[in-house]
Amino acid sequence: MSKSDDAALVTRLQAGDQAAYAQLVEENASRIYRLALRMVGNETDAEDILQETFLSAFKAIDKFQTRSSLSTWLYRIATNAALMRLRRKEPEHVSVDEPIESDDGDFMPRQFFDFCCLPEEDLLRGEARAEMTRAIEDLSPTLRSVFVLRDIEGFSTEETAEALDLSISAVKSRLMRARLKLRERLSIYFSQGPIVSESRKP
Amino acid sequence: MKKPDEHDSHDQSHEHTHDKDMCRRYLGSLSDYVDGTLGDELCEELEAHISVCENCRVVVDTLGKTVTLYHQLPSPELPDAVKSRLYTVLDLTAYVPESRTGSEEDGQ
Ligand SMILES: [Zn+2]
């Protein structure tokens, strides 16, 4: 959605136009739900976050500043809701002031199996995709939120920074750490070869 | 397609002089490299390094592949039931768009 489309819609939203509310929901609900599901990993919480996001957005629409886009603003609300929920559920995992540059030692690659050369059918199997999904859920929420916005939802670095209220360098550093962790995890998974029960016919 | 052992000949002489500090130095550039946003100078340095360091070459390739695989991960759909409850909660039931009939796969 372009900024000028946004401006017209915002005017209608701020005037309390119900059809405009419906339009906002129609245009964004799927992506917000997807983001929430990737963030929290279960459908019940994702649905709660989806509802919370629009309820909060409707309440706060008067305060919306047109310098950011409506969808980025919605993502910011949704991500905050998801992080708050995760903080309640796994408080040991989520710390607001997690150091931006933690020890690189944790991120030094240890796996050097070149899974690029595996056949596509092994890389794209359902079982591999389930492992990829679990791997996202095992990232700390701070790394997960950046990874989901950048590499799953396709946000730019700038949009991600805005949605998460982070500096560009914090986004880049967290994205790097998330990607390295996932690479490590996929390397281990793919180096173990296809599961026997699912192995291809000769 | 590259095979993992294709570069082994380079590696033998390199193995014992393997400079972990060098590899660590490039670690912070790999993500930008994969995105194609690394500056020219660093890019050349990194490419020179991975031409002699098999481990970093594998890390770069598999990091790029990891990102590509995640880009290809199918997105979960918004189930119709979740959508219809959303419109109810928001008091927008008058505006529910025409339901897309026959999309049973949404239902889980
Ligand atoms: Zn190296």
Q: What are phi and psi of B39, to 5 degrees?
A: -55, 150
Say whether both B68 and B85 belong to one domain.
Answer: no
What pTM value is reported for the model? 0.83
Structural domain of residue A182, as residue ranges? 115-196
Q: Indicate the DSSP class of residue A151.
A: I
Single residue among A52, A73, A89 that ends a domain in this structure? A89
Say whether both B64 and B83 belong to one domain.
Answer: no
Does the pLDDT value for residue B3 go beyond 50? no
Task: Give domain status of residue A94, yes or no.
Answer: no
Q: Indicate the DSSP class of residue A42.
A: S
pLDDT tens for A69-87 read: 899 999 999 999 999 998 8
Say whether both B52 and B85 belong to one domain.
Answer: no
**Dihedral angle sign, alpha carbons of residues A127, A128, A129, A134:** positive
Tokens of A5: 């489309």
Alpha carbon A192 to its chain centroid, in Å, reads 28
The answer to whether the CB atoms of A182 and B70 lie below 8 A apart is yes
Task: Give domain status of residue B5, yes or no.
Answer: no
Residue A177's CATH number: 1.10.10.10
Single residue among A89, A124, A154 that ends a domain in this structure? A89
Distances (CA, A) of A143 to A22, A93, A165, A180, B103: 32, 11, 14, 11, 34
Q: Give the position of tokens 């989901």.
A: A148
**How many interface pairs between A and B have CB atoms less than 8 angstroms apart?**
122
Domain count, chain B: 2
The whole-angstrom separation of Cα A44 and Cα A50 is 10
The whole-angstrom separation of Cα A164 and Cα B13 is 46
Say whether both B66 and B104 belong to one domain.
Answer: no
Does the pLDDT value for residue A34 go beyond 80? yes
Asked if residues A190 and A76 have their Cβ atoms less than 8 Å apart, the reply is: no
Please give the ipTM for the structure prediction. 0.85
Angle at A179 between CA A174 and CA A182, to 5 degrees: 125
Say whether both A84 and A160 belong to one domain.
Answer: no
Question: Taking CB atoms and an 8 Å cutoff, what residues of chain B touch A109?
Answer: 27, 55, 59
Task: Give domain status of residue A103, yes or no.
Answer: no
Q: Indicate the DSSP class of residue A152.
A: I
pLDDT tens for A23-32 read: 999 999 999 9
Question: Taking CB atoms and an 8 Å cutoff, what residues of chain A touch B79?
Answer: 43
Report the separation in Å between the CA atom of B33 and the middle of ligand 1, taken as the mean of its atom positions.
14
Task: Give domain status of residue B12, yes or no.
Answer: no
Asked if residues A77 and A28 have their Cβ atoms less than 8 Å apart, the reply is: no
pLDDT of residue A196: 47
The larger pLDDT score, comparing residue B11 to residue A158, is at A158
The answer to whether the CB atoms of A113 and B78 lie below 8 A apart is no
Say whether both B41 and B81 belong to one domain.
Answer: no
Does the pLDDT value for residue B6 go beyond 80? no
pLDDT of residue A2: 61
Task: Give domain status of residue A173, yes or no.
Answer: yes
Q: What is the CA radius of gyration of chain B?
A: 24
The answer to whether the CB atoms of A25 and B63 lie below 8 A apart is no
Say whether both B33 and B65 belong to one domain.
Answer: yes
Say whether both B81 and B61 belong to one domain.
Answer: no
Task: Give domain status of residue A54, yes or no.
Answer: yes
**Dihedral angle sign, alpha carbons of residues B18, B22, B27, B30:** negative
pLDDT tens for A97-137 read: 444 444 555 788 999 999 998 999 999 999 999 999 999 99
Task: Give domain status of residue B54, yes or no.
Answer: yes
Number of H helices, E strands in chain B: 5, 0
Single residue among A74, A89, A104 that ends a domain in this structure? A89
* Min Cα–Cα distance to chain A from B98, Å: 11
Using pLDDT thresholds of 50, 70 and 90, give the confidence band for residue A197: very low
Task: Give domain status of residue B8, yes or no.
Answer: no
The answer to whether the CB atoms of B90 and A108 lie below 8 A apart is no
pLDDT of residue A159: 93
Distances (CA, A) of B40 to A156, B33, B52, B94: 21, 10, 19, 56
Residue A10's CATH number: 1.10.1740.10
Say whether both A28 and A66 belong to one domain.
Answer: yes
Question: Taking CB atoms and an 8 Å cutoff, what residues of chain A touch B59?
Answer: 109, 112, 183
Asked if residues B66 and A186 have their Cβ atoms less than 8 Å apart, the reply is: yes
Task: Give domain status of residue B98, yes or no.
Answer: yes
pLDDT of residue A128: 95
Task: Give domain status of residue B67, yes or no.
Answer: yes
| Residue % of chain B over a pLDDT of 90 | 61
pLDDT tens for A138-172 read: 999 999 999 999 999 999 999 999 999 999 999 99
Task: Give domain status of residue A97, yes or no.
Answer: no
Question: Taking CB atoms and an 8 Å cutoff, what residues of chain A touch B36?
Answer: none
Does the pLDDT value for residue A185 go beyond 80? yes
pLDDT tens for B12-41 read: 444 444 567 889 889 989 999 999 999 999
The answer to whether the CB atoms of B78 and A33 lie below 8 A apart is yes
Does the pLDDT value for residue B87 go beyond 80? yes
Structural domain of residue B66, as residue ranges? 20-72
Domain count, chain A: 2
pLDDT of residue B33: 96
pLDDT of residue B19: 67
Say whether both B66 and B89 belong to one domain.
Answer: no
Does the pLDDT value for residue A201 go beyond 50? no
Task: Give domain status of residue B40, yes or no.
Answer: yes
Does the pLDDT value for residue A47 go beyond 90? yes
Report the separation in Å between the CA atom of B45 and the middle of ligand 1, taken as the mean of its atom positions.
11
Task: Give domain status of residue B6, yes or no.
Answer: no
Mean pLDDT computed over B83-100? 88
Q: Give the position of tokens 């995640």.
A: B70
